[in-house]
Amino acid sequence: MPPENISPAFHSISCRGRLIDLSTPKIMGILNLTPDSFSDGGKFNDKNAALKHAEEMVNAGASIIDIGAQSTRPNAEFLTSQQEIERISTVISDIKKEFPEVLISLDTFLSETVKFGFDEGIDIINDISGGQFDEKMFDVVAKTKLPYILMNINQSYNEMHHKEFFPDITLKLNQYFSKKIKDLLQKGIHDIILDPGFGFGKTVDEQMKMIDEVQFLGFGEYPLLIGISRKSFIYKPLNKSPLEINGITQKLHLKVLRQGVKILRVHDVAEAAKTVDIYLNS
């Protein structure tokens, strides 16, 4: 087991000229503009509801709002970039007007949606595909000069939830990250955040091992984002629903924070904020 409370590495990202210090962990609140996401589909796909929820998350302690228009649960409907853009509408710019200090992350694997989001004012690109679902993605990211969240996932959209056992999941993740980081650096993309991809093509045992060994991902060179909120590897073994696992989720959040994780991507911002406080005062 890794040691707790390891010395945190210094990391920062540059968002449109703002240097964001990640020495204190940040909370990324999830804003799904979808009718079919697995735990909150349809709750915030109305513009007014989306803005109200964004306000609630900012007030609860989120410094990043992650906006997504496309569900990536198994068997979800595939949306084109135009459909994503129609769902997003003016939500990005509206949030920016209301909360100019909050960072906006756009959750998309389509480069045309990134272009739209950049014009609307996004600060971070959150691409679950690692550039694998849209061959133009890395070139577009490079033009924006925005920070890029690099997630581990299977190579194709249709197989993103396919599970293949690997003897050493940490080694597999680091091999993937090493190759992708090289590709990103060659494009001139240097502000990179690593996401090991909980919930995508990994067994329960592999994901629990990832929790235990998260400090070894990326060898400490890049900030880590962890997204375990309401994930099935936690609630299914417990025979619970996604909404009944907040307590165990916060224990796991505390565990990864003590290993140096810099960003928690969550649905329950207020609870995550309490966990960050516990971490900072322990």
Residues assigned a catalytic role: 231, 265
Dist CA 199 CA 204 (whole Å)? 9
Cβ atoms of 76 and 35 within 8 Å: the answer is no
- Closest by Cα among 150, 105, 114 to 132: 150
In sequence order, the 6+-apart residues with CB closer than 8 A to the CB of 120 are 88, 90, 92, 93, 96
Six-digit token pair at 37?
A: 């996401």
Contacts of 258 (CB under 8 A, 6+ apart): 4, 5, 6, 279
Give the residue carrying structure tokens 């650096």.
185
Query: To which residue do tokens 């690593």 refer?
Result: 194
Helix axes 47-60, 91-98, angle to 10 degrees: 40
Task: Tell me how far apart the alpha carbons of residues 32 and 191 are, in angstroms, rounded to a whole number.
Answer: 25
State the amino acid at position 178 in one-letter form. S
Q: Are strands 18-21 and 12-15 parallel, antiparallel or unpaired?
A: antiparallel
Letter string b/e over residues 123-137, b meaning 16 or more CB atoms within 10 A of that residue's CB: bbbbbbbbbbbbeeb
Largest CA distance in the chain: 48
